[in-house]
Amino acid sequence: MRIYTHEDCLEHLVPEHHPERPARLAFLIEHLERTGFTKDYPLQVAPQIGKVLMGHAHDATLIHQLTERVPEAGLTPIDPDTWISPKSLIAARYAAGAVWQGVQDVMTGEATRVFCAVRPPGHHAESGSPMGFCLLNSIAIAAINALALPGVQRVAVLDFDVHHGNGTVEMCRKHPEILVCSSFQHPFYPGRYHDVVQSNIVNTPLDAGIAGDTFRRAIEASWWSAIESHQPDLILVSAGFDGHREDPVGNWNLEDDDYGWVTAEIVALAGQYSSGRVVSVLEGGYDLNALARSALVHLETLASA
């Protein structure tokens, strides 16, 4: 088990009262240290993702747009939700680099499970458009580039954030070797690509107000058979914790142990199909305490299951 992060991920700045704030990651890291988790699993420094690897997944126009929009000081809006500051693109490249390093680690046997404690999140960013707090789609970059690695013929991306992983669906749908499963509150942001019907895309819309039992039944009914049919060599996880009942953004009522349950199920499937290999990356989760507790349950399950 390895945990990747980078201090520059705290340097992606946003306006005051923005939910996707640096304190999310700082509080999570402090919680992992306070509980002693990092004594057994010390934090590793993430590398930056290279431009060539970014270009295999994102349009050149997006990379150029982000580069040109980086301000010398202050904040620049990309859209009402998404902002860029002087070190935002650097932070996003470390976030994507963490996931890619995790993929390399599990495929070379350096580790079996990896968690990437990074920000900004990525799963809303589309091939040509940053959006929804996201600049680069870290998990889609990793999934697409992983197909070129020895031993990787099929990849599964599993996204349990309360928001739909529109960017991951948009970027991966043209790759039949990549299965994308996304559960999400519906109707809700972003309202894009949630109705895609393809054999490698499993969209699982769920009403506002659901609790863990409904979430678990939906995942069991829609995801597991698809994963069994796909038989991935590598499982990647978009780990969003904003479906928690304490979260101020989502409207689900999940508990800490629901995240432990879905993680244990994913690890069990990884044991069957991907030699245990799982790489997970932080996406949403905006109540600091709920995020820290849920992520710790996720990590403990990844490490012990």
Give the C-alpha separation, 198 to 176, whole Å: 9
Q: Is the peptide bond before 187 cis (omega within 30 degrees of 0)?
A: yes
Smallest CA-to-CA distance from 181 within 210, 161, 207 is with 161
**What pairing do the DSSP bridges indicate for beta strands 178-185 and 201-206?**
parallel
The one catalytic residue among 12, 31, 123, 124: 124
Q: Is 230 a catalytic residue?
A: no
Kindly provide the b/e burial profile for residues 137-153, where b requires at least 16 CB atoms within 10 angstroms of the residue's own CB.
bbbbbbbbbbbeeeebe
Structure tokens, 44:
């590793």
* Residues 6+ positions from 84 with CB-CB distance below 8 Å: 66, 69, 70, 71, 75, 76, 77, 78, 135
Active-site positions read 124
